[in-house]
Amino acid sequence: MFTTRPFAHRSAMYQFRDDASGLNARIALYGALNRPGLGGIRILPYASDAEADADAERLAFAMARKAAALNLPYCGGKTVLRGDPSRIKSPALWKALGEAINSLKGVYIGGEDVNMRLADIATLSRETRHVVGTPDGCGNPAPYTALGVFRAMKASALHRYGSTVLRDRRVLIQGAGSVGMALAELLHGEGAVLSICDIDPRSAHALAERYAARVIDPARAIATPCEIFCPCALGPVITADTVNSITADIIVGAANNQLAETSLGRHLQARGITYVPDYLANAGGLLAGAGEHKARRGLVAFDPAAVKTEINRMFDLVAGYLKQAETLDLPVIDVCETFVSNRLEDGIAASEAAAEKSSSLVPQGPHGWLPL
């Protein structure tokens, strides 16, 4: 059931199979592996195991960068399940996945992600304590993620327009899922003029009706005139083929890995578009999960108000990056990449040094070992 591939101190991949339950999962970690990896559980019908492996690695790397950007004591983690989410969910699947997570002895902490619901997390939490986003914790992280995007958007508006006021600003939300829905509520309350698109037209129309928004054809979304483009669906959204079609002044959203390649962030800057890196804008959910994890370890009680206060401070974080980029006359993406990469490498170096000094290794499942 449990296998692992060889890994260096900076990354690990654990693969889990159980034919009886239908479990076909991989848990990826990236960063300073003497810290627990925190990241969501995603279920998608990947075409192959190789595609699922690649997505897990890519997402764990993104989570590592997010934790580094916020200076949180975690490495990046992600679980990917291969299968049709409408067919594979069962008590047996959650039991097998709980056993898989438990085999890592707290090295990985899971949470909600694509095609995982609060009820799924609640069921899984009965099989493993190494999970956050539970009903008695932060619950669905979408409102926290949306709040982080909202605060990052306010900081971007101040940088671009000289004001945080979003009233009458034309905002296009790509993705009518739980984060897009929560963000639409916040923006509607601010008086923004909303457009919505989603590959599921029913979701788009339902959200548009609730918040007096216009529905946009997903195929034309990225080229639709707007002031603020907010990607909240699956990435990558900005590619070499689409980057010149964007008309927005600001891009800030919840989707992970929005850029197909980092250089596109510089291209956006050259076109006069303010781009907030996704690992900054969408970090509210990570802050909520980290708050619940601390509570589960008995360090502090989970306090939603305290978590929201931390998320509100993302305004200052994003504003600081934008101001520094302006002062240095550099693309925002380069300033953020340099800072986050340096912090991530410092953490990895410290992890490697600790591993070299330690003669003890903690087993992570029957086939893998992880240095403390």
Catalytic (active-site) positions: 78
Angle, helix 263-270 to helix 332-357, in steps of 10 degrees: 160
Tokens of 352: 């490697």
Give the whole-angstrom CA distance, residue 14 versus residue 322.
38
Give the whole-angstrom CA distance, residue 152 versus residue 276.
8
Closest Cα to residue 183, out of 225, 139, 235, 142? Answer: 142
Determine the Cα angle at 323 with ends 39 and 316, to 5°: 50
Q: E strands of 139-221, at which residues?
A: 170-174, 193-197, 214-215
Give the whole-angstrom CA distance, residue 287 versus residue 239.
29
User: Does residue 106 contact residue 130 with C-beta atoms inside 8 Å?
Assistant: yes
Per DSSP, the three-state class of 147 is helix
DSSP string spanning 48-100?
A: SHHHHHHHHHHHHHHHHHHHHHTT-S-EEEEEEEES-HHHH--HHHHHHHHHH
Tokens of 316: 């200052």
